[in-house]
Chains A and B, each alone.
Chain A
Amino acid sequence: METPTINDLSICIATENGSGSASANNILFKAIFKMGIPCSSKNMFPSNIQGLPTWYQIRASAEGYLGRKDVIDVMVMFNDVTAAKDIHRVRDGGIILYDDSTPLPPHLKREGVQYLGVPADKIVQKILPTSPLRGKQKNMLYVGALAYLFGIDMETIKAVLEDTFGKKPAVIESNLVCIDAGYRHMQENGLNQDIARFQAIPNGNKGKIITEGNTACALGTIYGGVSFVAWYPITPSSSLAEALEHYIPRLRKGNGKPTYAIIQAEDEIAAAGMVIGAGWAGTRSMTCTSGPGLSLMNESVGLAYFTEIPSVFLIVQRGGPSTGLPTRTQQADLQLMYCCSHGDTRHIILIPHDMKSCFDFARRSFDLAERFQTPVFVATDLDLGMNFWSSEPFQLEKGPFDRGKVLTAEQIEQWEKQGKKFRRYFDADGDGIPYRTIPGNRHPHASYFTRGSGHDADARYSEDEKDYKETLDRLRRKFETARKYVPKPIVEMNEGVKTGIICFGSSYEATREARNRLRAEGLKTNHLLLRALPLSEEVKKFLEAHEVVYLVEQNRDAQMAAIIKEDWPELGAKIVSVLIYDGLPVTAGEIVRQIFNGAQATPREVLKQVQVKG
């Protein structure tokens, strides 16, 4: 017998996609949230519309951890196709909830777990004999069964249904009938368990919001004053553009007519080109895409870098290379972003790690793009972008937009009175950032010729070696200036601790949890959350202050480690990479495991081993 844990449980729900389970899962998750229990959900879905296996993992965590849990306490086995594997994913002592309308075949039986049945098929046939939605409603049965087993009261579920389907009483009713049937089946048949209970925490989630990173980023761009968007549909970034389209008419009423243009382009090349054209002409413009789209945008990003045009690229990373795993998460496009385009380039990247920073960084990206007259990336991933996260509410930091060094006709006039001349690519302030004018400026000396080919400080065509080198050097100076402007890392230092952990983006939650588990095992760590590239001095100091620094990243080739080593090669030896790249959201368990195993070999070490053996 186990002592039931309170509010600490992971439930994995295995279904077929397109079967209506998304709706059932959503209701279950929101009901737990409404009880005030800290919780998170991860949707591990296929690149498909109907009929392929999909898993939804809900985690309730009394301690407030939002990362994925690698131990599954309850498996809702509602997909015959994956059942044989699913039964082995649940922990010893865990529970398998299944549809026992027909007897369980012997190969799906396993020792050491508790099987609980709910005859979902039979029940829906009985209570909804004529409904065409019967197949979909069947999923509501497990919601009811779980509600009874773990203690979610029907009033809470009713409230969630009303929040979700407010204006459709018939839908609320038909869902409720099914959930209630599932609940009563368990109750009337005395089916129960003793591994965990949910217990409402009054006001536990009061003031917290639930949202996805793509929505948070979309809202951020709207509050950042975006007025031009060009995009091409691609998972997992489409829902970002769609959220923008959804919210912007309501938020930016203007004088009745749209104060923005959102264009679904013919491909990502066109999307990038349009964004650059619009940025050149003076709007705050952006695109959003994922790895394959960014691959296509490379040439245009180089153009914007070399011609110095403000533009924002929101990249929601997925598994690559090639088509890779379109519906799984990765941080493997870091170097693609950092060095996007042929030739020498380095780009500013903002890396949010939660919903608030998705909102804030998306908003701020336009300030940075206009300040530095360059493409700015906002790098998220599928885990942040498409999963529900609970968060403190968004807050608008008030203050004027930074439109950067833009000269109006009047300012040029004044400059000329002071004997100064507008020169488009001249480093007047020594920070590498030149002044620009915007087409439509009516001063006779305002116009210039923008070109992706070699140019001098006055924007004239030039193949002169000195001009070329000067331009490249100034662009590098500009990048160095950016080090002081981008969001600084968040550092947690404790006296006498010799081990550091660096992480960034969606690894944050799991890393936070891993550090607590490491401490419980006797390994104290300091922490640095990286939030932007170029790297700032704090990263260097952090490396210097520790004997060993674990760097958690979600890619095979230790891409962030390579970027750090490029800046401070002498400190590179301190970095031990924790590399997680199976496409699933990171778990604290995996981070802990790798650290205690002396951390995974970096590719270079792998290579050494191969050579030694040979």
Chain B
Amino acid sequence: MAEKKLNRINLSEKDYEGAASTMCRGCGHDAITASIIRAFFQSGVDPRKVVKLSGIGCSSKTPAYFLSQAFGFNGVHGRMSALATGANLANRNLIPIGVSGDGDTAAIGLGNFCHMMRRNVNITYIVENNGVYGLTKGQFSATADKGSRMKAGKINDMPAIDVAELAITFGATYVARSFSGDRKQLAPLIQGALAHKGSAILDVLSPCVTFNNHEGSTKSLKYIRENLDPIHDVDFIPQYENIEVDYKEGTDHAVTLHEGSRIVLHKLNSDYDPTNKTQALTAIHAAVAEGKFLTGLIYYDPNRLEFAEELNLCETPLAELGQDLLQPPAELLDEINAEFMK
């Protein structure tokens, strides 16, 4: 038997697995779970430092299927952003990963999602986007394209909310789009998101094989495959690996992340600078106009502080402070009493 491949903290990929999935056979979400496992394994992240968060829906069940050693929290519908904000500030040493769906993120939880990004809360936030409510059996979601057809024939007449566009607009500092079936692109993008400090949003197209995989749907496996429009190939170089990459001047773009890791983007076509917000939004709009899915690291802001830094919180996680630091001395209360006597 071949020796199991171990990562830098001596764990095998298997150590990053979770409970058996209860998704439908062939569900895109399972493929994303596999990419998440791969990314954590490749980056050698200690699962005991990770917290997994989710809301409600098929996608939100998936945190049970990876990193069984991590703490998990499957909350209420649409409120994962809020839970994550609290958990992140309570213990900034934890590595939060959130998994959500298009209903959770772009409908019921839209407001909280936008404000989480506005605050640039540190999180890797994956939207498993299939344009449909799966767990309630096939209603359109807010990311369903206008003109897309429901299984029973109904045509969606509302314009879609583009999660990546939304994320860029509201202040997320790492915005990527990918496809559940493209582990080669998705896993390094997740690794990049984990290394990034701030709101990293990954809009991952993930076909619902049961309710949204038919002719006429713009989120079917076939339709997505035919209309992917990758900006670049993606390599992730962890900060601890001192590897020289095959870096082509002029066509490759290296992005150095917060802890020294790098993402190398091998450009496939025109000049694309992911740090240019206007260009990123224009590229999304152009792709949408052509019915294409722009994928890759669409936008990256290397400068903005994450929320805990913005608040200038003490280095020790708030959750680890003892009573000596939490309870002010009684003398100060006497001082306040004296002021109230005036």
Contact = CB atoms under 8 A, between A and B. Distances in A.
Interface of A: 30, 163, 207-211, 219, 222-228, 230, 247, 250-252, 254-261, 263, 265-267, 269-285, 299-300, 303, 307, 393-396, 398, 400-401, 438-442, 444, 446-453, 461
A452 B82 contact: no
A250 B321 CA distance: 18
A163 B317 CA distance: 40
22 contacts: A210-B340, A225-B326, A225-B327, A227-B90, A228-B318, A258-B311, A263-B89, A270-B79, A274-B85, A274-B89, A282-B320, A283-B90, A283-B319, A285-B90, A303-B75, A303-B76, A401-B326, A440-B48, A449-B64, A449-B71, A450-B72, A451-B72
A91 B76 CA distance: 56
Contacts of A299: 76
B256 interface: no
B315 interface: yes
A210 B114 CA distance: 42
B260 interface: no
Given A440-B94, A452-B74, A394 B82 contact: no
Contacts of A269: 79, 82, 112
Contact of B312 (A257, A272, A277): A257
A300 B76 contact: yes
Contacts of A277: 53, 73, 82-88, 90
Given A252-B325, A439-B71, 15 more contacts: A258-B313, A259-B318, A263-B85, A263-B89, A269-B79, A269-B82, A273-B85, A273-B112, A300-B79, A400-B323, A440-B48, A440-B49, A446-B48, A447-B72, A452-B75
Given A223-B328, A284-B326, A394-B336, A208 B87 contact: no
B70 to A, nearest CB: 6
A450 B86 contact: no
B341 interface: yes
Given A266-B115, A398-B330, A442 B86 contact: no
B74 A163 contact: no
Nearest to B51: A439
Pairs A-B, 6 closest by C-beta atoms: A273-B82, A277-B86, A282-B319, A225-B326, A278-B86, A281-B90
A209 B341 CA distance: 4
A261 B48 contact: no
Contacts of B139: none
B74 A254 contact: no
Contacts of A280: 73, 83, 86-87, 90
B21 interface: no
Contacts of A257: 312-315
B69 interface: yes
A25 to B, nearest CB: 17
A252 B90 CA distance: 16
Interface string B46-79: 0011010100000000011000111111111001
Contact of B74 (A285, A395, A449): A449
B342 interface: yes
Contacts of A259: 313-314, 318, 321, 325-326
A192 B321 CA distance: 62
A224 B70 CA distance: 30
Contacts of A260: 318
Contacts of B320: 282, 440
A260 B70 CA distance: 25
A366 B85 CA distance: 20
B279 interface: no
Given A438-B319, A439-B94, A255 B86 contact: no
A144 B283 CA distance: 71
Contacts of A252: 325-326, 328
A142 B312 CA distance: 48
Nearest to A226: B326
User: Which residue of A210, A230, A250, A274 has the most chain B CB atoms within 10 A of its CB atom?
Assistant: A274
A440 B83 contact: no
B337 A276 contact: no
A263 B87 CA distance: 13
A440 B112 contact: no
User: Which residue of A259, A278, A285 has the most chain B CB atoms within 10 A of its CB atom?
Assistant: A278
B72 A449 contact: yes
Nearest to B85: A274
A163 B339 CA distance: 9
Nearest to B308: A261
Contacts of A255: 314
Nearest to A219: B336
A452 B76 contact: yes
A481 to B, nearest CB: 24
B82 A265 contact: yes
B111 interface: yes
B245 interface: no
A395 B336 CA distance: 11
A294 to B, nearest CB: 16
A270 B71 contact: no
B71 A274 contact: no
Contacts of B90: 227-228, 277-283, 285
B7 interface: no
B243 interface: no
Contacts of B333: 219, 223, 394-396
A141 to B, nearest CB: 24
A396 B69 CA distance: 41
Contact of A281 (B51, B312, B327): B51
Nearest to A393: B337
Contacts of A207: 341
A441 B319 CA distance: 11
Nearest to B342: A163
B227 interface: no
User: Which residue of B87, B94, B112 has the most chain A CB atoms within 10 A of its CB atom?
Assistant: B87
